[in-house]
Amino acid sequence: MGATRMACALRRGGSAHRDGVLEQRWEIDDGDCEWCARALPSAKWAGGSVTTWSPGISFNELIAVAPMPYIRERLGDRLCALLDLLNGGAVDSDRLRAVASVNIDVERLVVDEFERATLLAMLPEPKQIELVQRLGALVDGQQPLNGLRDLNWTAEQRRELLEFLGLTVDRAPSISPAHSVHTAPDYALFPHQRRAAARVKELLYDSPRRVVLHLPTGVGKTRTGMSLICDHLRQNEPTVVVWLAHGRELLEQAAAEFDRAWANLGDRPLSSVRLWGTTPATLGGLTDGLVVLGLEKAVSAAKTDPQFLTTLAARSTLTVFDEAHQIIAPTYQAVVDDLTIRYDAGLLGLTATPGRTWADISKDEELSEYFSRQKVMLEIEGYTNPVTALIEQGYLARPQMRTVAAKAGMHLSAREQQLLAKSFDISHAMLAELAQDEQWNLKIIQTITDLLQRHNRILVFAASVEHCRLIAAVLSAAGVDAEFVTGESSTRHRGQVISRFKGTSRRPMVLCNFGVLTTGFDAPAASAAVIARPTKSLVLYSQMVGRVIRGPKAGGTTTCEIVTVVNPELPGFGDVAEAFTNWEDVWETA
C-alpha cells in the first residue's frame, strides 16, 4: 500500500437513502480486490457492484496494513528495544502491530494536526471519499484527501473521525447540575462506622466545630461522610453543604455517592450541583442541597469572582474536605477559611492518612492545629490497632505484602543522594530515569506475569506516563489483556477502561496507571497490586495499597497480594497497620 492511495478497482457510483440510512454504491471492475474484502467486510456484493452503509474502518484494520516505519516511530525506540530484549531477538511485525493497536493513542493522533494528516493519508481512497461525504466536505473536482486536509477540524468533526475509526464516543449530554430522587431507605453503615459517625457529631456541633474523621482506606469514609451530610441536611432545613475534593475521580465518586445516600436517607427533594472541569462556577438560586466543588475550580473562582465564595459561604453551614491532609496548602486553606466564616459553620475532614509527610513533623503539627487537634479515629473494642481488627473481621482483605528487588541499573551520585535525603519524595527526574532501566522493567513484567497465575484483576502503579504505557504495551505483546490510564487519558478512554476492569469477565486483566487511581477509585474485585514506583510519601503509599484491600464484607476479596518492586538505591515502605497509626503523636485523639 502506498502512503496516499492503493491500486484498487473500486469506484464510487451513485448513492441513495434507504430507511433513513445513506446507502453508498460502488462499481467494481475486479471482484477479487483483497483490500475491499478486508475493509468492507459488511458489504453486499452483487454482480459488478457492492453496497455498504458507511461502515468506516477500524483503527486496528488500518494498523494491520500500515507501513512498519509508521508503527515503529509511534511506538518509540525504547519500547521496541524492550520488546526485542524480551523476545530474545528482533520482534516480528505481527507482534508489533498487536502492541500498536493497544499502545497508540488514537485520540492523540486525531487531535494533532500532523498526526491526523498522516493518518488520513493512510486511508484507502474509497474510505477517504466515504469520510469526506460523512463530514460534508466534498468539493467538486477536489481530491478527497485534499478536502479532508482543508477542514478546520472542529471538535465535532474530530469525534466523527474517531467514530469512523471504530471508537465509541460518548455523546450523551453532560450531567445535570440538579438531581434528586426518592426510594426506600437502604443505606446502612457498619457498626464501627456508626460509632465513628456518632463521635464526629458530638464534636462537629460544639465549638470549634471542626474535626477530622480518620478511617483506613477501604473502610468507607465517603459513605460515612455522606451519611453525616444527610443527617445535617435533614436537621438544618434549608441549608447548603459543600464537598471539596481534588481530581475528577474523587468528585465524580462524591456526586454519585450523594445521589445514592440522599435517595435512601433524604426527607425532601434536593439539588446537588457539580462544579468542576469546564463547568461555570455559578450557584443559581441554590439555597438547599449539596455543592460538589473541585478545589481547582474554587481557587480560580476566588481569583476571578470573589463574590462566588462569599455567596456560597453565606448559604452553607458545613464544609467537608475529602483527603483532608491536603488542606494546609495555602491556596486550599484560603478557600476553606472563606467558606467557614459563619459562626455556625462546621468543617469535617476525611482522610486515611492524617498527616502531610512521613518525616516532617512540623507539617503534621500544622494540619493537626488547623483542626484544633480534634480527630475521631476508628476504635474497635479489644484491639489497639483497628486495621488488625478489620482484617480479622473481614472488612479488609488480609494483605500478603512482599518486595522483589531489581538489579541496580540506576546509580545515584553523591549529590543526588543528598537531594533525596532532604526531599519529601522522589523527584520526577529520578522516576523518569528509573522508568528507562531495562532490568527494572524486566523485573516488573516478571512480577506481573507471576501474579497472573493467581489473580484476575491486577492494578499496577507506574513511575511515569511513558512507563505506564510501556508496561501495558509489553504485556499486550505477550497476549495479556492490559490497559493503561494516565492524567493524559481522555474521560471517554478512562471511563471505558475502568468499567471493563470493574466488570465480571473471568479473563485476567491488568490495569496500569500513573497519577489517577490512587484516590476515588473503587474496584473491589482487584486482588493484587504492583507498586512499580518508589516513594517516600507514606500518604501516597497508603493510598496505593488501599486500592486492593477491600474485604469480603465490603464486596472485596479475602486476601490480597501487594508486591513492591524495589530499587536498592531508593527507599520504600511495607506495613499497612503501621501506616495507619503513624501520625498519632501529633493528634490528641478525640
Cis bond before residue 208 (omega within 30° of 0): yes
590 residues of the chain, pLDDT tens digit each: 333 333 333 343 444 333 333 334 444 344 444 434 443 433 333 333 333 444 788 888 888 888 888 888 888 887 888 888 777 778 888 888 888 887 888 888 888 888 888 888 888 888 888 888 888 766 566 787 787 887 888 888 888 888 888 876 655 554 455 454 444 337 788 888 888 999 999 999 988 999 999 887 777 888 999 999 999 999 999 999 999 998 887 888 899 999 999 999 999 999 899 999 888 888 888 999 999 999 999 999 888 888 999 999 999 999 999 888 888 889 999 999 999 999 999 999 998 777 655 445 666 788 888 988 898 887 787 777 777 788 888 888 887 888 877 665 555 455 544 444 444 445 566 565 566 677 778 888 888 989 999 998 888 988 888 888 888 888 888 888 988 888 777 878 888 888 888 877 788 899 988 877 655 566 677 888 888 877 756 777 777 777 777 788 777 788 888 888 765 444 454 444 455 444 344 344 44
Mutual orientation of helices 438-451 and 77-87 as an angle, nearest 10°? 60
The CA–CA distances, whole Å, from 191 to 140, 230, 376 equal: 73, 18, 15
485: left (phi over 0), alpha (psi -120 to 50) or beta: beta
What residues are paired with 198 via a beta bridge?
Answer: none
Residues 6+ apart with CB under 8 A from 396: 216, 218, 219, 387, 390, 549, 550, 551, 554
Three-state SS letters, 24-78: EEEEECCCCCHHHHHHCCCCEEECCEEEECCCCCCHHHHHHHCCHHHHHHHHCHH
Domains of the chain: 10-164 (no CATH), 191-377 (3.40.50.300), 394-585 (3.40.50.300)
501, three cell numbers: 476492569
